[in-house]
Amino acid sequence: MGIFDKFGRRASVMGKMAETVGVDFAEQVARNPAMASTYREAVMRCVHCTHDGACKSWMAKHPQAAHAPDYCRNKDLLERLAGE
């Protein structure tokens, strides 16, 4: 699998995790275009994560949550944005 395929898959996973904890990146970017860079960095952290299966399983069990799982590399970012 190429990096662009992996990036696309992980962007989807990261977007779903963001929605799960109440973060809308499209809205964030619309309000602050510089947030696009933050989004790309978050996806790259997700690309390098080794918890892909656990993450998908966790999201299947938690359609909405106040916090991302502790192993999430974007936990701090997502929770900060959810609190804004």
Domain residue ranges in the chain: 3-82
* Residue 2: DSSP 8-state: -
Q: How many CB atoms lie within 10 A of CB 57?
A: 12
Taking only the tens place, the pLDDT of each residue in 10-38 is 889 999 999 999 999 999 999 999 999 99
What is the predicted pLDDT for the residue at 2? 76
Least confident of 10-14, 59-63, 65-69, 77-81: 10-14
Q: Where does the pLDDT of residue 1 fall: very low under 50, low under 70, confident under 90, or very high at 90 and above? A: low
> Average pLDDT, whole number, for the chain?
92
* Cα gap 34→38, rounded to integer Å: 7
What is the predicted pLDDT for the residue at 82? 92
Question: What's this model's pTM, rounded to 2 decimal places?
Answer: 0.87
* Cα gap 20→63, rounded to integer Å: 6
What is the predicted pLDDT for the residue at 7? 79
